[in-house]
Structure 1
Amino acid sequence: MSKQRFSLKNIPGWVIILAVFGLLYATGLHTEAIGQVQRLLLASGFKKADIPMAVETNTPVSFSSAISPLPAPKMVGTGFKITGLDGKTVNFETLKGKVIFLNVWATWCPPCVAEMPNIQSLYNKLYSNKIAFVMLSVDRGGMGKVKKYIEKKGYTFPVYLPHSNFPEEFQSPSIPTTYIISPEGKIVATQVGMAAYDTKEMREYLLQLAK
């Protein structure tokens, strides 16, 4: 009786696929692999960030002598503290007066990994003293893990970790989630899920908010 030679052709395709995914998970490369696929989808224009129809403007209001002006609106995230990769703690409310691009992400999240190069591109074009980028990591592995990841990728946008309890306003059912906050401290746009942010529409929207 002749022995049947072993051949990859005899292995079912689903077994090979499972083996590949198993290897990716075992080596921790699955996040990058899935992220790369989703990044290609973003590059194709598959998912652009949603832009509000119009930017709210502050219309001057006249008050009679018998009526007192309302107090200034309270900024979202008041009392919230964040820590940068340099170890310095920042009070979130000190960013009031700027347009804030707040992205909640994690190193283990494929959609987060997928949209980061696009956010870096947006940051390169728009970063100024009027627009603040806050890339807020919710990783539980500590600052060392996040810092290592950012340095490996060569990202230069500001990255932070929560230093105090997460504000209710920034809690979302999934990540990534991005919030656009006006100079007055109000959330004017929310994007749940990955998206392409470096678009003409988004750049114009942020610049208009920052005027």
Structure 2
Amino acid sequence: MSSSPPAWIKYTLLSFALLAVAGGFAFTISDKWQPAPPKEAVIPSNSVPQSGNLEGLAAPAFTLKRFDGKVVNLSDYRGKIVFLNFWATWCEPCKEEMPSMQRLYQKMQGKPFEILAISLDQGGKPAVDTFLKQAKLPLTFQILHDPDQATSKKLYHTTGVPESFIIGKDGKVIKHVIGSYEWDNAQITAYFEGLLKKI
């Protein structure tokens, strides 16, 4: 898992900083960030569609169930920043990044921010429960299930896990992130804080 913020964080935060200075306030940004190669577990498939660049486009709508049976629609979170994460229990990079996702989620409590972690496991709830118990991960963000990978591959064109999509308050994809990261480090947290300040 990369602990160094990737280039997309650097450039986005720089934009936020310039806007902040223009408005009479600013925050500090490090100029020593180096993007690190992400870790990703590839999903083998002979029929994966060509990756489409969804950035700037409306995030594909989906309806999935949580493991408690509750139905979740992406449209329910319009007006919030959504951190959409595709993962699987057999994915070591997913296991590495999940604690930092939980810490980020806790930092963002009370703000218009949501994490939707979509499991691709065919083993369903038993597989996920076993994984979380063995990994000792007390996650409080929502975990959804996409067993046939219709949402991940057909709608979001993922080719591996973890892959994440940052979705803006307007429902458009801001960023597609491949691989695992330390999501609660200072720079990435500032990135999300900057998104939250945007109308």
Q: TM-score w.r.t. structure 2 length?
A: 0.66
User: Residue in 2 aligned with 1:77?
Assistant: 60
Give the drift of 1:150: 2.9
Which of 130, 154, 159 is matched with 1:173 structurally? 159
Structure 1 residue 200 and structure 2 residue 186: aligned? yes
Aligned partner letter, 2:126: G
Give the drift of 1:143: 2.1
Aligned partner letter, 2:140: T
> How many Å separate the matches in 1 of 2:110 and 2:116?
13
**Counterpart secondary structure, 2:161:** coil
Count of residue pairs the alignment pairs up: 152
Structure 1 residue 155 and structure 2 residue 139: aligned? yes
Whether the 8 Å contact between 2:83 and 2:164 is mirrored in structure 1 is: yes
User: Residue in 1 aligned with 2:102?
Assistant: 120
> How many Å separate the matches in 1 of 2:99 and 2:109?
15
Question: 1:128-159, CA deviations, whole angstroms, 9 ceiling, x for partnerless residues?
Answer: 35001111111111123213433552222221
**Counterpart secondary structure, 2:117:** strand
Aligned partner letter, 2:94: C
Give the drift of 1:77: 2.0
User: Residue in 2 aligned with 1:48?
Assistant: 5
Question: 1:63-83, CA deviations, whole angstroms, 9 ceiling, x for partnerless residues?
Answer: xxxxxxxxxx974122x1121
> How many Å separate the matches in 1 of 2:143 and 2:176?
19
Distance 1:187 1:163, change over 3 A: same
Aligned partner letter, 1:209: L
**Counterpart secondary structure, 1:140:** coil
**Counterpart secondary structure, 1:102:** strand
> How many Å separate the matches in 2 of 1:147 and 1:98?
28
Question: 1:148-202, CA deviations, whole angstroms, 9 ceiling, x for partnerless residues?
Answer: 4335522222211138831645222211011111011111112111111112121
**Counterpart secondary structure, 1:48:** coil
Distance 1:163 1:92, change over 3 A: farther
> How many Å separate the matches in 2 of 1:77 and 1:52?
26
Over the matched positions of the two proteins, sequence identity in percent amounts to 29
